[in-house]
Structure formats: structure tokens, C-alpha cells
């Protein structure tokens, strides 16, 4: 953690509200903050009524706070989470897109809750166990999310939609942690019960072992079956509904064509799923919507890179504003399986300078 100077004032500049899940990452973040002289309060929030009713997550986080000897506060955000995150998750899949709920949750629920708790408790800072960093440009006064030292664990992609208020008050203690084993060693050294805890599941509101397709169907999302077609519109067969597919998918298509076939497009208006070759998945130009930019001047900057999914490598890109809302990203090298609903995130060196939701090819869909 790159330590910030602590100035003791009536604003309680050393007090920080930490998102405490009870997992090893957030616990290690608390330990690092304590070592750097911060007065830490752990905040845990439930995102579904079922989680609130069971209390399991809350008890785990409370236990971690007790072992850390820090204050603990709790919030039930299930109503907002339902409206903002789960509602969007269902709408996006219904439109043939593949959403990333954490991207929506971070600015609208998680960090908003942290900021509200910080304001109510008189804390200047907020913190999480994300593997990322922040940077302040003194020339412009702007704050940026910056990549973590650990490139393999870097989560800067997930934080690109955070606003200036959140970033300017954000501490990310795991920014220069080398690997997960180092985090576990911190917990072991304090004999903390969660030192060997598994990493959290990918979609927090879907029960472990459950399937997102069944979750959507239980929510009443049951699009009718439709046609498999090739890129020229020729019918190849039938499918049971667009929920079963995502861009780039090869396995589980339920159709045999005698050669490898991949999902290259999904049309929710006609319930058609377009199949093609692996080569059909590559695109040099990718459009994004609902973009956020730290500074509009970055659009004209050279030397930018972009990622079209969390695990992909940043690739050289040129950006161009198209209309009021869209940005066209032009890559030097074609990118594989750009998936509508996922995010494209723009970088200048190690700084996150903006991003947006990948748009469906050839048309603008206003679903959010």
C-alpha cells in the first residue's frame, strides 16, 4: 500500500470504512490499514433477502472484525440491489447480452453504501480489498484508478465506472501485494480463522452450485425458441431460447454442423442465434455505450490501450466519439469475441481513463 499522509483533524482523516466481506482479501486489507495507522471500521452488507434471513455472511464478517479488534457496522442493501443490479442482470440477458453485475454494483451500490456510511460515521476514507490502486494528477486535480502491481490479480477493470468522490477517498491496501499467498500469510500470522477461506463466487447473488440460466428462468425470463442461422441468414436449425448462449460459445450449442461452430451474434428481436467460424469472431472496431471518461481529452490521446473483458490483455487502440453517446474503439489487432453487455475499459499506461458497455453490432439498444 502506498501510504497517504495522515493529518489528524476534526474530519477524522485517519478513520476509514472498509468493505469487510469476511474473506481473506478484505481481512488482509484491514491488517495493512491498521499497520499504517488507520482507525478501521468494517462494513458488511447483505444483497438479497435470503442472505439477510440466514445471517451467515454477516456472522462471518462480524467474526473477522472481532478477531481484528475493529468496529463493525451492517447494512441491508437488498432492495437497492434488487432494483439496480439484479433487475439489470435480467434485462440484459433478455436482450441477448452478457452483463457483468459487479460493474453495475460497484458505483451504484457497493461504493455508494461505503460513502454513505463514511459520511454518517465521520470517516474521511473508504477502502476495499480490490487489487488496484489510485492516482492523483496534481496538474488537473483528477483522480484515477490505477493498475495493481500484481498484473495477474489486477482488478482495475472492475472499478472503471467509479466517480471522482469515490476515488478521491478510496484506499486500496492490496495495491502492491505480490500474490494471494502473501495475503494468506498475513492472516495466518494473526491466527485468523479465514486464512484458508476460498475465494468468493463469481456472481454473489446466485447460490453456490446454482446455474444463472435457472436463476433467470425462476425470475420469469423465458424467451421463446428460435433459429440458428449463418451470417447470411440461412437457417441451420433450432434452439430453445437465447438465454443458453453467449458470444464466442462453442460447447453446448445442441446442433451438429460437421465443423466447429461458434456463436457470433444474438438477436433478441428475432430470437436468432448466428453461428460462424472462429475467424468470424474477430473485430477491429468495437462500439461502446454509456461511456464514462475521466477527461474528454483522452479521446484524442495516442498510446491508449483497451481491454474488452476482465481477463484479456490491454491492446493498442484509437478512440473516436460517434454521436452523443457512442465511442468507436479501433484496434491495431482484431479482438476476439467482443460481447455486448460486457465492458471495454480504456487505459493510458497504468491509469484507467474510461470505458463503457460494449454495444450490439450494427444497432443501438437502449435497455438500461
Q: What is the CATH number of domain 280-358?
A: 2.40.30.10
Give me the phi and psi of 126, to 5 degrees please. -120, 160
Determine the Cα–Cα distance for residues 279 and 40; give it in Å rounded to an integer. Answer: 51
Pairing of strands 304-307, 343-348: antiparallel
Determine the Cα–Cα distance for residues 26 and 43; give it in Å rounded to an integer. Answer: 10
CATH entry, 15-196, from 3.30.420.40, 3.40.50.620, 3.50.50.60, 3.30.70.1520: 3.40.50.620
The pLDDT, as a whole number, for residue 43 is 98
Determine the Cα–Cα distance for residues 344 and 193; give it in Å rounded to an integer. Answer: 38
The residues that bridge with 262 in the sheet, in sequence order, are 276
The alpha-helical segments, DSSP class H, found in the chain are 24-35, 49-54, 56-68, 78-81, 87-94, 101-105, 111-121, 164-168, 180-189, 212-218
Determine the Cα–Cα distance for residues 292 and 313; give it in Å rounded to an integer. Answer: 21
- How far is the CA of 294 from the CAs of 57, 165, 313, in angstroms? 35, 12, 21
Q: Which of 95, 102, 105, 330 is labelled catalytic? A: 105
pTM, 2 dp:
0.92
Determine the Cα–Cα distance for residues 229 and 234; give it in Å rounded to an integer. Answer: 5
What are the E-state strand segments in 194-325?
A: 226-229, 235-239, 262-267, 272-276, 282-293, 304-307, 315-322
Predicted confidence pLDDT, tens digits, the chain (368 residues): 555 544 434 346 799 999 999 888 899 999 999 999 999 999 999 999 999 999 999 999 999 999 999 999 999 999 999 999 999 999 999 999 999 999 999 999 999 999 999 999 999 999 999 999 999 999 999 999 999 998 888 999 999 999 999 999 999 999 998 777 777 777 777 766 666 666 666 789 998 778 899 999 999 999 899 999 999 999 999 999 999 999 999 999 999 999 999 999 999 999 999 999 999 999 999 999 999 999 888 888 889 999 999 999 999 999 999 987 899 999 999 999 999 999 999 999 999 999 999 998 655 444 45
Cell numbers for 87: 433487475
Helices then strands, counting H and E runs in the chain, come out as 10, 17
Determine whether 95 is an active site residue.
no
Q: What is the DSSP string of 73-109?
A: EEEE-HHHHIIIIIHHHHHHHHTT----HHHHHIIII
CATH entry, 223-276, from 3.40.50.720, 2.130.10.10, 3.40.50.620, 2.30.30.280: 2.30.30.280
Q: Who contacts 245 (Cβ-Cβ below 8 Å, separation ≥6)?
A: 239, 253, 263, 266, 273
Domains 15-196 and 223-276 share a fold: no
Q: Where are the domains of the chain?
A: 15-196, 223-276, 280-358
Determine whether 105 is an active site residue.
yes
Q: Which of 90, 95, 102, 204 is labelled catalytic? A: 204
Amino acid at each position: 500500500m502506498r501510504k497517504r499522509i495522515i493529518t489528524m483533524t476534526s474530519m477524522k482523516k485517519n478513520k476509514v470504512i472498509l468493505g469487510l466481506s469476511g474473506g481473506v482479501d478484505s481481512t488482509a486489507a484491514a491488517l495493512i490499514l491498521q499497520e499504517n495507522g488507520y482507525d478501521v471500521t468494517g462494513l458488511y452488507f447483505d444483497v438479497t433477502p435470503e442472505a439477510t434471513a440466514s445471517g451467515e455472511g454477516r456472522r462471518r464478517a462480524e467474526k473477522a472484525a472481532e478477531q481484528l479488534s475493529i468496529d463493525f457496522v451492517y447494512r441491508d442493501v437488498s432492495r437497492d440491489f434488487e432494483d439496480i443490479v439484479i433487475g439489470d442482470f435480467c434485462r440484459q440477458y433478455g436482450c441477448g447480452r452478457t452483463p457483468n453485475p459487479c460493474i453495475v454494483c460497484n458505483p451504484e451500490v457497493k461504493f455508494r453504501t461505503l460513502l454513505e456510511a463514511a459520511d454518517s460515521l465521520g470517516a474521511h476514507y473508504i477502502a476495499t480489498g480490490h487489487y488496484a490502486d489510485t492516482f492523483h494528477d496534481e496538474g488537473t486535480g483528477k483522480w484515477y484508478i490505477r493498475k495493481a502491481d500484481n498484473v495477474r490479480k489486477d482488478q482495475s477493470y472492475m472499478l472503471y465506472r467509479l466517480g471522482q468522490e469515490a476515488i478521491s477517498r478510496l484506499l486500496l491496501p492490496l495495491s502492491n501485494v505480490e500474490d494471494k499467498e502473501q495475503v494468506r500469510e498475513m492472516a495466518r500470522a494473526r491466527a485468523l480463522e479465514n486464512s484458508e477461506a476460498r475465494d468468493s463466487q463469481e456472481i454473489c447473488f446466485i447460490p453456490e452450485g446454482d446455474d444463472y440460466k435457472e436463476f433467470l428462468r425462476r425470475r420469469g425470463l423465458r424467451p421463446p425458441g428460435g433459429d440458428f442461422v449463418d451470417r447470411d441468414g440461412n437457417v441451420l436449425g433450432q434452439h430453445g431460447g437465447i438465454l443458453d448462449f453467449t458470444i464466442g460459445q462453442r460447447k453446448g450449442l445442441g446442433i451438429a454442423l460437421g465443423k466447429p461452430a461458434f456463436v457470433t451474434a444474438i438477436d433478441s428481436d428475432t430470437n436468432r442465434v448466428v453461428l460462424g467460424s472462429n475467424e468470424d469472431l474477430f473485430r477491429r472496431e468495437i462500439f461502446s455505450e454509456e461511456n464514462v471518461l475521466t477527461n474528454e481529452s483522452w479521446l484524442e490521446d495516442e498510446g491508449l490501450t483497451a481491454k474488452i473483458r476482465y481477463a484479456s490483455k490491454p491492446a493498442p487502440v484509437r478512440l473516436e466519439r460517434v454521436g452523443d453517446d457512442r465511442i468507436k474503439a479501433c484496434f491495431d489487432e482484431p479482438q476476439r469475441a467482443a460481447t455486448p453487455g460486457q465492458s471495454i475499459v480504456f487505459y493510458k499506461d497504468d491509469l484507467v481513463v474510461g470505458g463503457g458497455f460494449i454495444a450490439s453490432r450494427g444497432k443501438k439498444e437502449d435497455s438500461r
